[in-house]
Every structure is written in C-alpha cells, then in structure tokens.
Amino acid sequence: MNKDNIIHKNAPDSTVIDKEVTNAGCCCGHAHAVNQEQGRRKRKRKIILLIAGAFIFVAGIAAEHFFDRYPYVSAVLFIAGYIVLGGEVVIRALGNLAKGRVFDEHFLMSVATIGAFAIGEFPEAVAVMLFYQVGECFQEAAVRKSRNSIADLMDIRPDYANVRRNGEIIKVAPETVDVGEHIFVKPGEKIPLDGLIVEGSGMLDTKSLTGESLPRSVEPGDTALSGCISQDGLLTIKVTKPYGESTVAKIMHLVENASEKKAQAENFITKFSKYYTPAVVLLAALLAVVPPLIIGDGWAEWINRALVFLVISCPCGLVISIPLGFFGGIGRASRCGILVKGGNYLEALGDLDIIVFDKTGTLTKGVFEVTKIHAADGYTEAEILEIAAYAESHSNHPIAVSIGKAYNGAIDERKLGGYKEIAGYGVSVELEGKKILAGSGKLMENEGVTFDESDDIGSKVYVAQGGEYAGCIVISDKVKPDSREAVIGLRARGVRKIAMLTGDNKLIAEKIGEDMSIDEVYAELLPHEKVEKLETIGAGKRPKGKLAFVGDGINDAPVLARADIGVAMGGLGSDAAIEAADVVLMNDDPSALVTALEIAKSTRRIVWQNIIFALGVKGVILLLGAFGFAAMWAAVFADVGVALLAVLNSTRILRAKSS
C-alpha cells in the first residue's frame, strides 16, 4: 500500500470539504458582511447629502450676491440647504425631546440655527449645519480608523467548522460542535475551536492572538487555539472546549465589552455635561432677555448674541474626542497583543506605582529545562545525559520529561531491565547489565555512593553507574528572555517598587530576584498567603498610585482580582486567571507591560490635551460672544472646529510610539 494513503487515510479530502453542506455556520459571516454593506451605504448617502448641501449653500451665497433684488431666491436656497444638511439633526433633537433628553448637542444646534433664521442670519444658520456635518464625517473617519486594529482582532471570529458527521464532512456553526468531535482545518483556514492536534502538522499564524509575527510549529499532541490560522498543514483537531469557552470567544467578549467601563476622564465629562448644558441654556436665555429689559431696546442684537452663545457652548468636542481617545488607546493596545478590558483600566495603568510579579510562567517560562550538566572524571556531558534519559524513560514526571527532551534521542528498550521506582528518591534500572541510579542526593546516600553535591539553583538529578558517581544534571525553570528588560523598562517609566510573590523554593526565588534586581521577593507562599502579602505591599502605595499584579496560574486568580489592576498572561495562562484579570498580555511577554504603560500614558496625555484645549477655546469665545465680539462664524469654529481638532488629536494615539 502507498505510504501516503496510509498517512492520509483518515484525513479529509479537500475536494470533499469543498462540496460540504453549508450550514448555520455561514450566518455569522453573512450577518457581518450585511452590517458592513449597510455601513458603506449609510456613509455614501451622508457624503452625497453633504456635497448636495454644500452646493446649495454656495448657490445661496451666489444668489444673495447676484440676485439681491430677489431675496426670496437666496432664502429658498438657504432653507433647502438647511433641510438637506440639518434636517436629520432637527429630527433627532425632536426625538430626544420626546424621550426627555433635552439638553444635548442636537437641541443646542437646532435652537441656535432656527433662531438664526428667525433673525435673518440665513447663511450663518446653514454654515453651522454644513460645518457640523463636515466635522461629523471627519469624526466618523477617525472612529473607523481607531476601530481598525480592534476590527482586525474581531476578524479572528471563525465563520464555520469542518466536522465529520455520519461519514461526511460538513460545514457547521462552531457553536454546534461538541467536545470530543474532530474538526478539520485546511491551509489558510482559521481554527474555530480549542483542541488537541491528533493528526497533521504545520505552522500556525498566531498574530491575531499574540501580536507575534513569527508562526508557531505544531504537531500531534500540541494544543491548537481558536483564532489561529493554519498556514501550511491539513490538521485534524479533537475539540476540548465548547465554543463559548474557547479562546476566540473569550477574546471577543473582552473586546466587545471593553468600551463599557469608563475612565475617570470620561465620567468627568459625563457629569460635567449634565450640569454644563442646562447652565449655558439658562445663561443664553438670560443674555437674550435681561440686557434688553434693562436698556429698553436691542432685542434682535441680544437674541443674536444668545444664539451665538448657544452654538459656542456645544460640548461635542469633549463628548466625542474623550471616549474616542480611550477607544483608540484600547485599539492601539490590541494591535500590540494587549487586551485592556476598559478605559478605566487603561487610565489606571498610567498611575502604576507598584508592580508585583508571580514567578513561574510569568517571569520564567514555567517549563523545566536542563540548564547544566556536571560530569565526573571519566564521563562526558553527553554520556551523563544519555544514561539519565534511559533511567528516566519510563517516568512521566516533569523532570524526567525535561531530561528526555534534552537527550532527544531514541531509547532502545532492549538495553533496559529491572526498572524500579524509589518513591521520593528517584529510579533504579539496569542498562546493558550495569545498575543505574538517578535521583536525589538522598538516593546516593542510601545506596552508599560518594558524590559531589551541587550548589546550583534548581532541581538536581544525581547519576551513578555501577555504584560509581557519574555526574549531576541541573534542571530549572528558565527566566524569559525579556523579563529583565521588562523590569528595567518599568522602572524607567515611573514604577517605584517591583516585587515578586511565588510558591516556589526560597533559594530559587531569591536567586532570580537578585539577578533581575527585584526589590522584594516573597517565596513558598500559598494562594491565600499571596493575597495577604499583596495587601501588605499595597499599603505602601502613594496616595493616587496603583498596584498591579501580573500572573498566569489558576492560583493567581484571587490575587489578580484583589489588585488594583490584574494583568494575566494570555498565551499560556489559565482560564481563571484571564477571567479575573483586567489586562491580558496575549504574547506572554512581560515586556508587553512596558508597551501597555506607554500607550496608557500617551492616551492620558492626549485626552487631557483635548479637555484643556476645548474648555480653553470655548471659554474665551463664550466671553467674546456674550460681549458681541464673536459672530456666528466664530461660534462655528468654537463648536465644530474645536471638535474636529480634538478628534484629529485623538487619532494620534493609534500612532503612539511603543517599544
């Protein structure tokens, strides 16, 4: 039989997949496409109305200039232009009025412009609506741009899953696939659900999940996360989680709900607008009525000033640009593989005073690796590793697995015999007739073997052959390449104290802490003791400072929830840790936290620039308008111009430099 036929006997034929039955799985993608098409149509209609309204406005100005004998011509054109440009605003204001929402930007715009018509300022009334619509178009373009990075992330949503049922491979909605079923992923397709690869190998594009550009190699036995794209392999995957608990579903949930949690600056503007808008309406009414009553005439002049005052007072520059700023910051972070669950957490990152790290899986890889081999006289390192690999070949202990991986050679079972596991000490086995011992120093002592005790940090496996000491293998959890860089970067960006909490051995923890210049190290802690220690550390925060805890394991969930900001490692982190966290680092690199801090600080700086600029300009022009030095054109700039400049400033967040 042909070898290829044996290998691919159970693999799906691509021609079969191409003829699959289309099921409900396509609905999700179809709905997304429909929404996109509706959005395009709406934008196209708006642009057409804007161009038409601008043309009518220009025609009205020309008619006013060249047909001054027939003022009704320009009046008709201005009214027509106003309906085209401002009709939607007036309708929305009336709708909000019916719902009890009186003091919003649509109400202010409608009152001011209709009032302008009433006092004969036709061109100014239409100009307000024209520039308002221009500003709206720029605002929508800025929002679309800031959403692009999040939209890219949202594209990880799989539209369908290829599953074998009743001997036939069909397309179904990922939500309908049960745990234990086998799904098939062709090159170029997204993995729809989390699972284990049972057949096939290849490279996975994980960029949408982790932000990493380098693909990851997978083979049978490896975990496949939903949202990744198979680049070159036909994979058979056994589903281990339902769609609702899959990686892609959780990320989608985090992103979709991120904008619901407002930052303090956003809450400030919400409260500010609640009192500000009624106040300026009242001031405008007093401005229109009180001075004429006192001086006895000039009603038209003071009503005009009041209307100008109303247009200037619109807070849309703040209302639009500040949420857009935080939304842009969240989008920028997601592009870097950092999921922030809300604007409040993004803002809090900018106030970090203390950071507490877990060790295993956070600062270290969380995987046992052979780091050193000490060979006794007469032996080489390769020989020690081979002897230990044979001795540990029947064990599934993580230390035994790490020795096997380091050896990476074939084990000839015919050479082995007399395997015996000595609980708590190690193993004894015969290798080609010679007795091999591999285990702790206690094992060597019990067997009467004289050995050189190693003082290296890590787990030690001492090896003896024929009653003679052969050497020692040191196995430890390696520090991640960028952990030290992360600590240095965090200090450079204003973090005052960095601590480490771990349940690991005290000597190992202190050695890692010393190597990385960590201020405080607390080891051999149980989960509840971590929470207690975190609270003790947190008591030393600056008044407005925040404390962040960075962890990855299920035992970190209580500490993540207790910290001001919980940061979870998303690639290898547990589900419980990711659920409890406020920020998720999808690439598992501690240095991503430095990037998150830079984005948070850039976002805050730009948002407060908008607040100060908008309030400053409006304050000055409001005074000028009240005293008659600002016409309706100045009011247009104070409203639409300030909003537009603030929105454009907010888009800078997407280009914020990060390292």
Query: Could you tell me the pLDDT band of residue 433, with boundaries at 50, 70 and 90?
Result: confident
Q: What residue spans define the domains of the chain?
A: 3-21+160-244, 338-364+480-596, 366-479
Alpha carbon distance 316, 639 (integer Å): 7
Residue 490, pLDDT above cutoff 90: yes
Per-residue pLDDT for 28 more than 50? no
Question: What SS3 string covers 371-423?
Answer: EEEEECCCCCHHHHHHHHHHHCCCCCCHHHHHHHHHHCCCCCHHHEEEEEEEC
Per-residue pLDDT, 449? 92
Instruction: Categorize the per-residue pLDDT at 213 as very low, low, confident or very high, splitting at 50, 70 and 90.
Output: very low
Does 366-479 match 3-21+160-244 at the fold level?
no
Residue 188 in this model has a pLDDT that exceeds 50: yes
Report pLDDT for 537: 93
Please check the confidence at residue 327 and state whether its pLDDT lies above 50.
yes
- pLDDT band at residue 9 using 50, 70 and 90 as cut-offs: very low
* Greatest extent of the chain over all pairs of C-alpha atoms, in Å: 120
Tokens of 582: 């406020």
Q: What are phi and psi of 546, to 5 degrees?
A: -115, 150
Give me the chain's average pLDDT, please. 79
| Architecture label for domain 3-21+160-244 | Distorted Sandwich (2.70)
Where would I find the beta strands (DSSP E) of 466-572?
A: 468-479, 497-501, 520-522, 546-551, 565-569
Please determine, for residue 120, whether its predicted confidence score (pLDDT) is greater than 80: no
pLDDT value of position 27:
41
- pLDDT single digits (tens) 523-536: 878 667 888 899 89
pLDDT at site 275: 75
173 band by pLDDT with thresholds 50, 70 and 90: confident
Give the residue, 54 or 217, on which the prediction is more confident.
54
Token match 């909000």: residue? Answer: 96
pLDDT grade for 84, boundaries at 50, 70 and 90: very high
Give the pLDDT confidence of 356-386 residue by residue, as tens digits.
998 877 888 877 788 899 999 999 999 999 9
pLDDT score, position 23? 39
Q: How far apart are CA 58 and CA 180, in angstroms?
A: 68
- Rounded Cα distance between 392 and 403, Å, is 8
Q: Which two tokens stand for residue 185?
A: 């992923």
Average pLDDT of span 115-136: 78
What CATH fold (topology level) applies to the domain 366-479?
Answer: Calcium-transporting ATPase, cytoplasmic domain N (3.40.1110)
User: Which has more confidence, 156 or 357?
Assistant: 357
For residue 45 the two structure tokens come to: 């209609």
In the structure, what pLDDT confidence band is assigned to residue 298 with cuts at 50, 70 and 90? confident
Provide the pLDDT for residue 397: 72
- Confirm if 439 and 463 have CB atoms less than 8 A apart: no
pLDDT digits (tens, 9 = 90+) for 607-635: 888 888 888 887 888 888 778 787 766 76
Instruction: Give percent of the chain above pLDDT 90.
Output: 18
Q: Residues 188-212: what's their mean pLDDT? A: 78
The pLDDT-based confidence of 450 (bands split at 50, 70, 90) is very high
pLDDT grade for 500, boundaries at 50, 70 and 90: very high
Q: In 3D, which of 443, 445, 441, 437 has the Cα closest to residue 463?
A: 437
Model confidence pLDDT, tens digit, residues 301-326:
888 788 778 777 766 666 666 777 78
Q: Is 536 exposed, middle or buried (0-12, 13-18, 19+ CB in 10 A)?
A: exposed
pLDDT value of position 113:
79
CA 539, 540, 545 angle in degrees (round to 5)?
A: 95
Q: Give the pLDDT score at 2.
A: 36
Query: Is pLDDT of 455 > 90?
Result: no
pLDDT of 92 over the 60 cut: yes
pLDDT of residue 240 exceeding 50:
yes
- Say whether pLDDT at 426 is over 90: no
| CATH 3.30.70.580 describes domain 338-364+480-596 | no
The radius of gyration of the chain's CA atoms, rounded to the nearest angstrom, is 34
Mean per-residue pLDDT, 652-656: 69
pLDDT, tens only, 434-447: 999 999 888 999 99
Tens-place pLDDT, residues 547-605: 999 987 656 777 887 888 889 887 645 565 666 678 888 878 899 999 999 999 988 88
10 Å CB burial of residue 344 (0-12, 13-18, 19+) is buried
Bridge partners, 473 (sequence order): 373, 461
Active site residues: 358
For residue 245, is pLDDT > 90? Answer: no
Which of 123-127, 284-288, 494-498, 650-654 has the weakest average pLDDT? 650-654
What per-residue confidence (pLDDT) applies to 181?
92
What is the structure's pLDDT at 14? 36
Structure tokens at 479: 């520090």
**235 bridge partner residues:** 185
Query: Using 50, 70 and 90 to split pLDDT, how confident is the model at 387?
Result: very high
Please give the C-alpha separations between residue 232 and each of 159, 205, 316, 570, 640, in angstroms, as whole numbers: 20, 10, 50, 25, 51
**Do 515 and 476 form a contact (C-beta atoms < 8 A)?**
no
396 has pLDDT over 90: no
Q: Give CA 218 to chain center in angstroms.
A: 25
